[in-house]
Amino acid sequence: MEGKTLFLNIFLFFTFILLIKAQNNLVVSPKYTTKDTCLNPSKASGPITSNLNKPINGGIFTLYGIGGRGACGLDIDAPTMSAAASGSLFNNAAQWVPSCLPDKRYLLNDPICMSKCVKITYKCVGCSAAKTLTVPINNKCPECATNHVDLSTDAFKWLEPQGGTVGIAKDATITYINC
């Protein structure tokens, strides 16, 4: 009986640890995939490609209001947690092309608009552990450097519960990735 109790206690301990870890990590998927939009990554090029999977320490993030269609032509309020990336990560020569979405809207044929996400790891003010949030990029922040992302209000508040009172959240690790 002691062996079963010990096993159960160990199991519960590790389950508790995994639960805590899961509460500090959230991945939000894009509303549309490249299959949904009919954009073809092999027919597009842009600066985001050389910046993928390279963590940037000392990053910052701010928040912005959402609504309408962003720089990619996607709805920037869907999903409610999303990001606007540095204008320098967009291809200035990218063309607008018709999509295969039901409304046939035009989308920017730029790799940054094709299932790209930003992963942000940040320890909020007064928090005991860092959180990691991964959200899709669906808009442009022209004035942001590559170490700065502009987040939707929901995304910002998930990472920094004090919200806008913080203003600019600093010392984050920012990594651009494929979603």
pTM of the model: 0.84
For residues 51-67, average pLDDT: 91
Please report the pLDDT score of residue 43 as a whole number. 84
Q: What angle do CA 22, 53, 77 make, to 5 degrees?
A: 65
What is the chain's mean pLDDT, rounded? 86
User: Would you say residue 62 has pLDDT above 70?
Assistant: yes
| pLDDT for 1 | 53
CATH number of 26-178: 2.40.40.10
CA distance 91 to 110: 6
For residue 140, the cross-strand partners are 85
Greater confidence (138 vs 65) lies with 138
pLDDT at 20: 39
- Comparison of pLDDT for 160 and 4, the residue scoring more: 160
pLDDT of 2: 55
Residue of 34, 26, 59 whose CA lies nearest to 135: 26
**Residue-level pLDDT at 21:** 42
Weakest-pLDDT range from 5-9, 70-74, 167-171: 5-9
Where along the chain do its domains lie?
26-178
Q: Give the residue-averaged pLDDT of 14-20.
A: 34
Q: Which of 46-60, 99-113, 158-172 has the lowest average pLDDT? A: 158-172
